[in-house]
Amino acid sequence: LKNNQQNQAPEKFLTVGMLSRRSGVPVSAIHFYERKGLIRSERDASNYRRFPRSVLRVLAVIRVGQGAGIRLEEIRERLGDAAQSSTLTASDWARISAGWESDLNTRIAALSRMRDRLTGCIGCGCLSMASCPSINPGDRAAGDGPGAPGLDGRV
């Protein structure tokens, strides 16, 4: 039996359960990604969803992107037509990952600033409006828009 299984060509299309087991991505997430246009399925003669085996690579890219904190919308935009093609190539991956680099660098810089500001606060607890760098003394950042511009890279 083992030799028979080894000699069989891998199936070109997978059920959502097979895709989930092989990728480690929950079925609910696979359906969510499909609704969001990141992956695609086809219908078989019985009208069941079947996913091209190539979707495994797309799922891997999605999970890597999410692990790096990339927004799903950004992942979808970067995938572009590659998500709908039959094969996600090495050059597709190079293009996608290069596109994420500046976003990652921006967030790394913001996190580094946050770490540097927190260093003086850890164990302090004063929350001084005059001198604590974590609470925006004098509301200097008010002119930079809503949110926390000092932490998200705008300042």
Could you tell me the smallest distance in angstroms from the CB atom of residue 87 to ligand FES? 52
Count of positions on this chain that bind ligand FES (CB under 6 A)? 9
Kindly state the tokens that stand for 70.
């990339």
In the bound state with ligand FES, the residue whose beta carbon lies nearer, of 105 and 119, is 119
Could you tell me the smallest distance in angstroms from the CB atom of residue 133 to ligand FES? 6
Q: 138: Cβ–Cβ under 8 A, 6 or more apart, which residues?
A: 129, 130
User: How many Å apart are CA 19 and CA 13, to the nearest integer?
Assistant: 9
Could you tell me the smallest distance in angstroms from the CB atom of residue 27 to ligand FES? 45
Let me know how long the chain is.
155
Q: Tokens 């989930």 label which residue?
A: 20
Question: Which residues are registered as beta bridge partners of 50?
Answer: 42
Binding positions for ligand FES, 121-140, rule CB under 6 A: 121, 124-128, 132, 134
In the bound state with ligand FES, the residue whose beta carbon lies nearer, of 15 and 134, is 134
Kindly state the tokens that stand for 81.
């037509």
Q: What residues line the site for ligand FES (CB under 6 A)?
A: 120-121, 124-128, 132, 134
